[in-house]
């Protein structure tokens, strides 16, 4: 039987699932965590995947070639939420950490920056207003101003000053600015490598860093006419419009993501 041709973008949901089912063994699903599998919370430590997500990811992992979570969170955090999932790979800190088949691998070039990140977190707690939540991630520091949006300009300015002082990179996000080591690693690079041997891939994201992942799917299609990539945005009031404009389709919430996957699994 002839293979179904690659649909045009944006594909219909029916066409996207039809190609995915046909190429299931060579398909990878990638998911961001915050805002995609879990609602965004004022306290990042309180974030939990919506109730249906672990089960649907486990089922999905038995139906397709690979399932992976690609997050700004450390692998240790992702493991605390998805430790029971045996078939799901975890990329933490934009890919600086990887959990695969029972092992954590850390990008060696980032390791020398751990002391600087620890010092930066302490400095942030001392110099920024108390309303700013400082999230130390070992290899990066995130400054959350969700509960004090009026301080956004002050926090952004402070973050950029520290990045210039220390030679760090800045990643913007939903009510957060994150400072990272000057190491070439982002979600787009994770996806570029992750789809190298895939015939089909989906990426679900909600924030600015996820657009690089969408771009990686498009870049693979440009050099391989047989490859099919689906970029899915999850709506939100902060970065939703920009992310949706770069995606093939938009879902309304993490609960809608779980429902969408459960419905799709009925096609296998």
Rounded CA separation 49/39 (Å): 7
Strands (E), the chain: 27-31, 66-70, 88-92, 97-100, 103-106, 133-136, 141-144, 169-173, 176-180, 200-205, 228-234, 249-251
Instruction: For residue 250, give the 3-state DSSP assignment.
Output: strand
107: Cβ–Cβ under 8 A, 6 or more apart, which residues?
Answer: 95, 96, 97, 183, 185
Q: Which of 15, 32, 207, 248 is catalytic?
A: 32
Instruction: For residue 38, give the 3-state DSSP assignment.
Output: strand
- Residue 30 tokens read as 């990638």
Rounded CA separation 117/138 (Å): 6
Secondary structure (DSSP) of 174-193:
TTEEEEE-S-S--HHHHHHH
Compute φ and ψ for 74, nearest 5 degrees: -65, 155
Would residue 32 show up in a list of annotated catalytic residues for this protein? yes
Cis peptide before 10 (omega within 30 of 0): yes
209: Cβ–Cβ under 8 A, 6 or more apart, which residues?
Answer: 72, 94, 171, 173, 186, 187
**Is the distance from CB of 36 to CB of 206 less than 8 angstroms?**
yes
- Catalytic residue positions, numbered: 32
């Amino acid at each position: 039987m002839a293979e179904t041709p690659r649909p045009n973008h944006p594909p219909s949901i029916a066409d996207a699932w039809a190609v995915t089912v046909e190429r299931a063994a060579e398909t990878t699903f990638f998911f961001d965590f915050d805002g995609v599998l879990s609602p965004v919370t004022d306290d990042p430590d309180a974030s939990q995947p919506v109730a249906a997500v672990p089960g649907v990811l486990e089922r999905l992992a038995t139906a397709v070639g690979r399932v992976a979570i690609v997050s700004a969170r450390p692998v240790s955090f992702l493991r605390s939420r998805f430790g029971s999932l045996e078939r799901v790979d975890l990329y933490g800190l934009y890919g600086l950490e990887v959990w695969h088949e029972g092992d954590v691998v850390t990008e060696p070039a980032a390791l020398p920056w751990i002391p600087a990140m620890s010092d930066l977190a302490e400095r942030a707690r001392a110099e920024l207003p108390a309303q700013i939540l400082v999230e130390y991630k070992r290899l990066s520091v995130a400054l959350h101003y969700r509960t004090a949006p009026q301080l956004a300009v002050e926090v952004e300015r402070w973050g950029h000053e520290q990045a210039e002082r220390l030679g760090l990179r800045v990643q913007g996000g939903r009510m957060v600015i994150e400072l990272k080591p000057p190491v070439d690693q982002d979600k787009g690079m994770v996806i570029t490598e992750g789809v190298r041997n895939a015939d089909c891939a989906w990426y679900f994201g909600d924030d600015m860093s996820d657009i690089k992942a969408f771009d990686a799917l498009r870049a693979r299609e440009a050099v391989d006419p047989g490859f099919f990539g689906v970029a899915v945005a999850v709506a939100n009031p902060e970065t939703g419009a920009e992310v949706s404009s770069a995606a093939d389709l938009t879902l309304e919430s993490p609960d809608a993501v779980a429902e969408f996957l459960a419905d799709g699994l009925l096609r296998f």
